[in-house]
Amino acid sequence: MTTPFILKVEGMHCAACVRRVQAALSALPGATIQHVAVGQADGTFDESVTNLAAIAQAVTDAGYAATSPSQSDV
């Protein structure tokens, strides 16, 4: 089952930040990225492969903070 996600991404300030987050999320198995812009990323993920915590961790590993509308800190 695919689940949509929207993450608020803090610390992004430029196009290089957008590319860095997009690359990190694109490398995550089970995630399909639809849009990354300064401050936000959205897409879908396959629940049998990954979860929102893993997606947020990929953003954190890229050097940014991720929060979801349904979670205060992911």
Residue 12 · residue 39 · CB < 8 Å: yes
How far is the CA of 35 from the CAs of 4, 38, 56, in angstroms?
12, 10, 15
Q: How confident is the model at residue 69 (pLDDT cuts 50, 70, 90)?
A: confident
Taking the C-alpha atoms of residue 70 and residue 56, their distance in angstroms, rounded to an integer, is 13
Complete domains list, the chain, with CATH = 2-64 (3.30.70.100)
Residue 71: pLDDT over 90:
no
Q: Which has the higher per-residue pLDDT, 69 or 51?
A: 51
Percent of the chain exceeding pLDDT 90 equals 89
